[in-house]
Structure formats: structure tokens, C-alpha cells
Structure 1
Amino acid sequence: MGNDINVVFMGKFGYPSGMASTKRIQHFLDYLNGLSTTTRVLQLRSTGENVGKEEAGNYLGTEYRRVGVDLKLDRFLVPALWRYLKQGIGALKGWHIRGGRNVLYSYGGVTLESVLFILAAKRLGYLVIFDIVEDNTFIDDKLSLPGKIRWAAGEILDRFFLGLADGVVVISNYLKELYARKVATSVPLVLIPISARCAGEDRPGREPGPMKIVYAGSFAKKDGIDQLLDAFEKVQEKKGNCTLMLCGTGASVKLYQPRIAANPAIQYIGYLEDRAFYRFLLGADVLCVTRTGSTYANAGFPFKLGEYLATGNPVIVSDVGDVRRYLSHMEDAIIVEPGSVSAIAGALEYCLDHPETAAKIGRSGADKCKRYFDPDANGNLLMQLIRRL
């Protein structure tokens, strides 16, 4: 069914292990590989604890290659940049299948890291799909100088190279409306939301002891970690009987370390590999997606919300973006005002005082996850788009 199709997923994400972006790509790969589609991954410049140590390999039937690990702003930049381009373009050439439908799936659209590879892919005969998952126009984190340069360049590249797209995928209705104004009407534009595979009926029961409140993900400003910590400390002081467990990684983690160290009821777990990560989520009593109300937070759609709902545990989520398109307050999740410490604290207190009702909300959230965020349904949407190109 899919053996005439060859899809190369490209972007600055960890592979084969990683966080939200990696998991989004992996769900697509799982579906396409089930159709005997040829799949590859070209990973651009990703480094860090959540990235595989090997620069090339095969994972679950997908060949992958990582390029640009040695790119740094030093005297070796020019030769490193040459190797980066040579290796990346060489991979695209080697992976191109003569007579097949070759597709380059560029996660994040056009960036400084990807633009020359996109141009090369077009010359080689690839069809190009851009996957847009955020609106960086409104990024609200403080950026380093290189970060500011990449951000500004991304805006310019998006404006001038968006016309290279044969198809566009977006993760939210905000982005769908934004890119409907940017791309030609002849270019297919498809909304493919987050995805998560539900845990099923074999998930563990609640363990005795303090209520375990969990946040897992990045520690960027949009994630509202300050507000979550404030709310937790407020509830802990008033009621006790709760712990806050933080999992994930990011440059901003160090900003919270003194506060975490000062409160024994707050634990930082660090980065967990997939199996340990999902066991960690399953063991939670309450899961929190407490985003701020910024335009940047509203533009995307938190991938971790799907992972949380999939556990069947109750979820406290800020009212951002598409949340209310899929979930109802106090039925499928506890939806709170973005950035409101009192609203988060009130939701945490409710879960402490009404554990049975909270558990019922969690089970309903899992049902909504199956309905709206099924990885196979999302994979089918992508395959339909590829066949339209």
C-alpha cells in the first residue's frame, strides 16, 4: 500500500529518544512503517542528554542519521558547516528513490538549520511538507544572541521560503488560520493535533501516601512553572498531604533548582527514557499542564496534554489554544485560568478533597484522548495528505 512512498523526516529534534517533537514524529513513523512505507530521519544538530549517542543507526525499522553535532561558533565553524551540508545533502541524495514518491517532512517549517536542505531536496525531486507546531513571532522566553539570530532568521525564511511547501501540517486551529493566510490556496493545509496511545485497563491503582502531583516536560516560560510552584506551596502549607514531582529537561531547569532544594516536598526527577517516563506518569495522582496565557502558549498545543490524558489520571490544564475544542471542564479535565496561581491551587485542593470525582474525570479524559488524539488516525491524515501531493 505504501511501498512506493519514501518519507524523510527532518528537524532539530532528538532521535530515537527525545521529548514532544520526537514523540510526534515517532507516532507518524509507526503508522507509515505499518503500511510498508520507506521512512528515514535526518536529525539536525540536536545535542544533549535526551539525544542518542550514535550518529547513525536504525530504530524500529527507520534508518536515521544525525548531522552537525560539531557545529559551534569557533574557529572550526567553516569546515564543520561544510561537513554538515555535505553529510545532510548526501543523505538526501542517497535516500532518494528513483520512480518513488519522495517526501521531505520538515518539522518546524523553514529554519536556518534546514533551509539549504529544503532547497536541495526540491532540486532532487522531493515533495516538501512543513509541520508547523508553534508561532515564534510571539516567543516569550529570554533568548541568547544566537537564539535571537535564529528567531529573526526564522521569521524572514518563513516569509520568503514558505512557497517551497507542497503541503503544510499544523497542530492547532490558531496556526491553521494563520497559515491559511500565508500559503497559496492550491497548497493543502491539514490540521493534525497531538497524539497519544492510551494505557488501557492494566494501569496500576493508586498507591497510599501523599497525593503525587506531577509536571513533566520543558521548563520554558510558557510552561508556567513559577505559577505551579506557587500554587503547590500554597496548598501544601494549607492542607499538607501532597508532593510535587518535576520531570524533564531544559536550559531553564537551573533557575528552579534553589526553590526545589528548599522544599523537601518538591522533587526534581530529571530526564527519563520512554519506559520509565510512562511508568512515572501512570504513577501520578494528578498531572498538570499549567501554561501561561501568552500568545505563544495559545498558538501551539501542548503535546504532554495527550500523554497525560492517556494515563487515565486526572489532569489540570490551563485554558489555552484548542483545549476547550476537545475537553469539557470538570468532565474530562479540570480547566483553569492561564497563569492564575489561585485557580491552580483551587484545582489541586479539589483533587485532594474529592479523589473519587477526580478519578472519574481522569477516566473521561482518557476516553476523549482515544477519540481525538489517536496516533493511527493522525497517521492516516498524514498519509492522505501525502497521496494528495
Structure 2
Amino acid sequence: MSKENMKEVKSVVFLGDSGFPVGLAHIQRMTLMGRALIEAGCEVRVVCRYGVWRKNVKTDYGKEGIHEGIHYKYTVDSPFRQEGFISRQYQRLKGLINEFFYLIKLKKEGSIDAAVLSTMNFTDALRYKLYSVFLGFPIALSLLEMASALDRRSSISMRIQNWLMEKWLLKRFEGAMPISNKLCEFYADIAPNKGNMKVPVICDYDTFAEVKRNPQEPYFLYCASISFMDVVEFVLDSYQNMKNKDKFKLYLLIGVREQWQFEELQEKLNKRFPKGNVRLFSNVPYQELMQLFTDAQALLIPLRHTVEDTARFPHKIGEYLATGNPVITTNVGEISAYFEDEVTALISQKYDVEEFAQKMDYVPDNLEQARKVGIQGKELGERNFHFKVYGQKMKQFLQDLK
């Protein structure tokens, strides 16, 4: 389509995910992408077709509202997860039907020029593709992981879904916004003639600039989900191998679904570290999380030499850099694309306990240089990962899909 005949993208809808605006990495990324598009002059909506919030979530948000300029709507009765199997299935069906008619309404109002889709579920993705054909709007897939490389998607049914998604359906979307070079190459191989725009980790550096340092003690910090227990063990082993471990504590921020998971891990830590030099936190509010990140001496994010870690680009890296504290990581995936060892990050070449422990020891051994690495890392992040950098670029990309 010629630029003269190209209609400007003014209204963008995010589809395929639920939980907005409550949640961590994937919800924060969606929020920042939405805010970036708003900065570029777009109206942004998020449509959620079923409720996933747990009953203990404390929030003032309802099933419909505005969060940081982004309109959102749940097409079910409540954004909270329903009790009982029958009730949940009824709400899912109701949400699906209501979502379709809501999208029709948006299209009639001229409020959906393009959509960004976040899902690895083949059935859901196919349904949204059919919606887009019927209603006449392009879809760009937000590509954050390589589904076929994930251990949690290794069952026979999941493998079939992965094959259908990656070998047949992905190429039928108008474009994709992968988070990493690996995923850009992956999508280019599948759909060489479709739009392909890398959107790396993004963060609001202005918000982190408002957090004042108030450290009570020197510590390293590692933040992850309980599903990454093998990496948690790697971090604990690396900490134990430090020669300076008595100088710094280790804070673990581990996201858990059930209280028993937290208690079980705490018991293991008490036995392994009886001096109490490893502290465990879980499911802390985001403001407290930002403070803990900011007060740390260094922030840990070891990546494994796997297809999964090569393809992904953890959201936490952007937040870690925003604090101005040094990031300690491994030379996997996107790390080599952006960072230089002892300049913008502390990088272990191998996923190796002893080598990673040496990088951790670098901080107490070279405090001033480590602080300089942190500052230079923040400057790199502001240039490459501040969400405002991508607003106009994403808008133009979505416009070019039409």
C-alpha cells in the first residue's frame, strides 16, 4: 500500500492475555508498550476475556477502567478467578462470546486499527486470526519465547500445539514484535515476507529515578519465579563459593503460587545457611520491589546456555539497569548484543558456579569500579530500553502492516 493511501494507526488493541493491570513481567511489558503508543498519539485498549486475579489480591481496579492512560475491559463478570470448575467454564465461555461482540463494537466505532496479540496457545491465536480477517484489522504477535523450547510445554498435546503454531499459524499473522535477535531470526525463517520488529526489554527509567537509595546492609539480589528453582540453586551455589560472602548478604525474591512453596524453601535455606545471611522474600508489592532493587549492591540474573534462555530477554534486566547498580549475568543470548564485561555489566562467559562466584566477588573487591559499571549500564539502558524510545517506531510498524 502506498504511503499516500495508508491510513494512520490511531487505535491499538492488546489481545490474548489476562490479568491487566495487575501482574509482573508480561503485564508490565504490555503496559509500557501501551504507554509508548500513547506517547506516539495512539488510543490504547486491553481486552481480557477471563478473570485470573486471586481472591487475596488487594486492588482498587474493577472489570473496566483506565490504567496509566490505557483503557481496559474484562468481558466476564469479574476480573477475579472464579471458584468451582463449572463456574469457571461458564465465565470462560461468556467471556469469549462477549469479547467477540465487543471487538465488533470497537470496529464499528473505528477504535481498532491494529492489534497486538500475546499468546502461545494455538486455539486462541487461531481464533484471533479469524476475528482479524472477519473484522479487517492486522495483528502483530508479541513474541517473547520460543514455545517449543520450553520444558513446561513438553507434553504431547503441547508439542502438537507448538508444531501447529510455529509451522503453520505464525506465518499467517501480518507481523511480529520479537523480544530478541534469536526470535527475530526464528520469525524471519518462518515468515520472511512479514513485518518483523525487535522490541527488546523495556522499562520506565523515569519511575526508577524517583526511588531514593536507603540501604540498610550490603547485599546481592536475585529475583525469579519458583519455576526457575534450578537457577535459584545455581545462585545459592555461586554465593557459597564466594570468598567474600561474609561481607554481603544474598536476598532472594521468589514468586510463589502457594504459601507452602515459600515455607518449604525457607526451611531449606535455614538449614543450609544457619547464620541467616540469605534472606527470602516473596510476592512483594512493586514499590517495595523497586526499593529492594535500588538498595542492592549488585543484581544477579544468570542465564543458561539453552535455547529457551537464548531466545528470551528477561524483563528484569531493564529494571536492574534502571537502578544504576551493576548487573551480574552470563554471556547468553541478548547479553552479547548489548553488554561489555566490566564496562556495562559483569559477565561470566560460562554458566559455571565458580566463574559466576568470581564475578560476584568482583563487587566487594572493586567497589568503585563496580559502581561505575552500574552507572554505565544504566546509561546503556536509557539509550536502548527506555519505553519512550519505541512508541513512534511501533506505531509506524503497525501502520506498515496494513
Same fold (TM over 0.5): yes
Pick from 258, 264, 270 the counterpart of residue 267 of structure 2: 258
Q: Which runs of 5+ in 2 are unaligned?
A: 1-6
Check if 1:66 corresponds to 2:74. Answer: yes
Check if 1:159 corresponds to 2:167. Answer: yes
Superposition deviation, residue 109 in structure 1: 5.2
Pick from 173, 188, 205 the counterpart of residue 195 of structure 2: 188
What secondary structure, in the 3-state scheme, does the structure 1 residue paired with 2:249 have?
strand
Alignment-mate amino acid for residue 236 of structure 2? L
5 Å matches for 1:1-389?
A: 5-45=10-50, 46-48=52-54, 54-66=62-74, 74-75=85-86, 79-99=90-110, 102-108=113-119, 111-141=122-152, 149-150=157-158, 152-185=160-193, 187-198=194-205, 204-205=212-213, 207=215, 209=217, 211-221=218-228, 224-235=231-242, 239-251=245-257, 254=262, 256-262=265-271, 263=273, 264-389=276-401
Which fold has the larger relative contact order, with Cα–Cα distance below 8 Å and residues 6 or more apart in sequence? 2
Alignment-mate amino acid for residue 29 of structure 1? G
Task: Please say if residues 170 and 190 of structure 1, whose CA atoms lie closer than 8 Å, have aligned partners that are also in contact.
Answer: yes
Task: Please say if residues 15 and 117 of structure 2, whose CA atoms lie closer than 8 Å, have aligned partners that are also in contact.
Answer: yes
Report the Cα distance in structure 1 between the residues aligned to 2:269 and 2:153, rounded to whole angstroms.
Answer: 22
Q: 1:101 to 1:133 in 2, by over 3 A?
A: same
What secondary structure, in the 3-state scheme, does the structure 1 residue paired with 2:182 have?
helix
Task: Please say if residues 71 and 81 of structure 1, whose CA atoms lie closer than 8 Å, have aligned partners that are also in contact.
Answer: no
Q: Determine what percentage of the aligned residue pairs are the same residue.
A: 20
Report the Cα distance in structure 1 between the residues aligned to 2:131 and 2:143, rounded to whole angstroms.
Answer: 20
The TM-score, its normalising length taken from structure 2, stands at 0.84
Task: Please say if residues 238 and 354 of structure 2, whose CA atoms lie closer than 8 Å, have aligned partners that are also in contact.
Answer: yes
Superposition deviation, residue 97 in structure 1: 4.7
Alignment-mate amino acid for residue 269 of structure 2? I
Report the Cα distance in structure 2 between the residues aligned to 1:154 and 1:88, rounded to whole angstroms.
Answer: 25
Q: 1:341 to 1:14 in 2, by over 3 A?
A: farther
Task: Please say if residues 222 and 292 of structure 1, whose CA atoms lie closer than 8 Å, have aligned partners that are also in contact.
Answer: no
Report the Cα distance in structure 1 between the residues aligned to 2:257 and 2:157, rounded to whole angstroms.
Answer: 18
What secondary structure, in the 3-state scheme, does the structure 2 residue paired with 1:134 have?
coil
Q: Name whichever of 257-266 and 275-284 sits farther off.
A: 257-266
Superposition deviation, residue 72 in structure 1: 8.9
Q: 1:42 to 1:65 in 2, by over 3 A?
A: same
C-alpha deviations, 1:88-140, integer Å up to 9, x for none?
A: 21332232254566212102455444432332233112211111111121113
What secondary structure, in the 3-state scheme, does the structure 2 residue paired with 1:196 have?
coil
Task: Please say if residues 48 and 73 of structure 2, whose CA atoms lie closer than 8 Å, have aligned partners that are also in contact.
Answer: yes
Q: 1:250 to 1:134 in 2, by over 3 A?
A: farther
What secondary structure, in the 3-state scheme, does the structure 2 residue paired with 1:191 have?
coil
Superposition deviation, residue 379 in structure 1: 2.0
What CA RMSD, in Å, does the superposition of the two structures yield over aligned residues? 3.0
Alignment-mate amino acid for residue 258 of structure 1? E
C-alpha deviations, 1:229-270, integer Å up to 9, x for none?
A: 11123337x641221112241459556343234332222221
What secondary structure, in the 3-state scheme, does the structure 2 residue paired with 1:229 have?
helix
Superposition deviation, residue 220 in structure 1: 3.0
Report the Cα distance in structure 2 between the residues aligned to 1:169 and 1:352, rounded to whole angstroms.
Answer: 39
Report the Cα distance in structure 2 between the residues aligned to 1:205 and 1:329, rounded to whole angstroms.
Answer: 25
Superposition deviation, residue 344 in structure 1: 1.9
What secondary structure, in the 3-state scheme, does the structure 2 residue paired with 1:224 have?
helix
Superposition deviation, residue 224 in structure 1: 1.5
Superposition deviation, residue 370 in structure 1: 1.1
Report the Cα distance in structure 2 between the residues aligned to 1:301 and 1:51, rounded to whole angstroms.
Answer: 29
